[in-house]
Structure 1
Amino acid sequence: MHKRDVEHAQRHPKVIIICDDPAELTGVVDIVASQVKEYRTFTSYKEVAELLSEAPPGVIVIARKTVAKSVEIYSLLAKHGLLNYAHENILLCENKESGIAFRCCMKGIFTDYFVYKPMYENYRFRMILHNALVRTEGKSEVAKIREEHFGRIDDNLKQLIDDAAAYHQKADETLQNARRSLDNEKGINKVQDDLLEELKQKHLSPLLDELEQQLSESVHELTRRLKDKQFSIAELTALLTEKDNSTHAQTAQHVSPVGNNGELDITEPKSIAAKQEEIKIMVVEDNEIYREMIAKILRDEGYKVESVTSGLSAIKTLRKHKFSMVFMDLFMPELDGYNTTKNIRNISHCKKLPIIALTSNKNKEIIRKWASLGLTGYITKPSTKSSILKAVDKALAENNELN
């Protein structure tokens, strides 16, 4: 039996997925499987009810055809007393129903929601699931992140994140203490009790509610501003905690422009003759954290690395200096990866320069168009250490063969 089937048949899963058509949830299941081994997918109410009676999971993901149907099955399970335990529930919906999903979460029906049709932000789902697992387990069951995994993050950014977390926790504790003190406050007679209760209802409780709402909004805004600079734990885990594979030179992906069947061609690598200390690699990525993570992985392997933040900077540098290969992000400000590659190919000594695409975009047309400029390979984001090194080995093998 395939490993995925074994994991998928767990009798005591930590995560269950309730849906109408599992075939539509391939991407979702892949993300769940990357974070937790014990999970199952159900399409039958009876099967879900039996599992909840026997081994209640900590996280319930519901992704039925409509939000109404998801609410319906969750309400039915609750009505039959099958959800009377601490758990997290995540609603998956289509983009057109995101407003309804948002309202359901605001009303407290679901812990969080995620738009999986189309799935634009799979990192967000990774983070939602990770947080849900942490809350239900009391501690993280996923791969641990050590401080050194953050690479060369700016100290000011790290301090800002730490300060924000401390502020949020302290402010939340202060508000909760104020609520408890207010609830315990009593007068010396009925008249005072009535006056105090009126004061609570009309003034003090609304004030605390407003402060709590402002705190939530402030944290949300801070999170939004840090989004471009801060990786989620799931991304960092995928990138840095994968066990090193000493045979990574054997299976690197390779992209030819377009095969006869219209699909990208993936072939096997050959041996590598170049010495690592003589290899100079450029990393073109506007996301500071991701850029430094790739650079660190390459440097740790003995390669010389130069990082740039934009396509324009890459072109300018490549006109003056020679590199062994380039890692290129697709979406960047000013000039995207496709047009940057197009300009690089016009530089005389870069016409055959190995270029490896970095992208989280699953649109095959975009990849084909980019590949037509002469990509050596591509890796998807978040990239694992193994996939990065495989891509390097493959690119060097191709280049040596051509030369």
Structure 2
Amino acid sequence: MFASDLLRALDCCPGGGSSGLLPQLGPRQLLAFTVNCLGNHRYLGFFEDLEQRHKAQVLVEDISDILEEHAEKHFHPYIAYCSNEVYQQRTLQKLISSNAAFREVLREIERRPACGGLPMLSFLILPMQRVTRLPLLTDTLCLKTQGHSERYKAASRALKAISKLVRQCNEGAHRMERMEQMYTLHTQLDFSKVKSLPLISASRWLLKRGELFLVEETGLFRKIASRPTCYLFLFNDVLVVTKKKSEESYMVQDYAQMNHIQVEKIEPSELPLPGGGNRSSSVPHPFQVTLLRNSEGRQEQLLLSSDSASDRARWIVALTHSERQWQGLSSKGDLPQVEITKAFFAKQADEVTLQQADVVLVLQQEDGWLYGERLRDGETGWFPEDFARFITSRVAVEGNVRRMERLRVETDV
């Protein structure tokens, strides 16, 4: 039981000390927030109700009513916790990287038997991991009760309630993370050289960012010629082209709305040099971005190059996200599937966090990376191929597609 695990870990946290480290910044505060969210609510009553049902029925016939009641009335602390999880993780990482005394105290706590040898981060991410598993577990109830009309209806109601809860958890986590991210970028992007763009918007979020080689400088982009690179910020509705001034400061050179952008993959052999020949050795992974209507209402072209085939593929996927219409449910049975063999935590905006045993539909493969759709909720993103194994059983593949269809239709995910 997660909350009781945390209570044991919390008992290990020193309450004070002359340094005053832990009372102000330490793991006691990080864990206490979790316990307040989960341990002091009817969250624990869920397990009590399950235990009472088991005592009343040695062979438990159904728990759908318990799942539905708690999802609708008592699991709301999950939403608050998941919405704030990103802040907890960031606070922990900041303390670990900036405070040597804190690191030492944390190591001592993590070594204690009551913590089970687990790092602090594992305690912080566990609620999100567990709540996102509930729809799949509840769907299993639906499968097992298909021969019993009333039980199946009860299981379906529980599945809808659980899926709504998980959707709210995911939306809360995304909303808080995006809000913080946009406020940070607002302070880092300097629009003094171009017409200002109101960056902060509730409907805008970052899809991808990164530095690329600028192969040719034309028009406005001759201003970047002193350093043949540019730094792109791709949002869901606008592309912002900048020159990096420092790690936390960027001079905006231009921007364009996403519906005014065209992207084309180019082979190195297609790039002629002025004196003949081609640039295949110096520009290994080029692609062209055309701003049909830039910040001044004119057309501009950027000939860019990335340092790997996978990075180019990731940029092209991100830049064409609004145009891409992946296969419908009826044809997804033909797509490769992988099972995640070890957890992967997204580090970039276009990556997807995956748990061990997650099933992912593979939409694209490139240079050791896979782009896929997480079966349990439809979220897409990139992840390393060596974190997964391909599912070769046709029966398993077809069963996974049927489960995905059921989850999307019955829960309106």
TM-score, normalized by length of structure 2? Answer: 0.26
More strand by share: 2
**TM-score with structure 1 setting the length:** 0.27
| Structure with the higher fraction of residues in helix conformation | 1
Structure with larger RCO (C-alpha < 8 A, sep 6+): 1
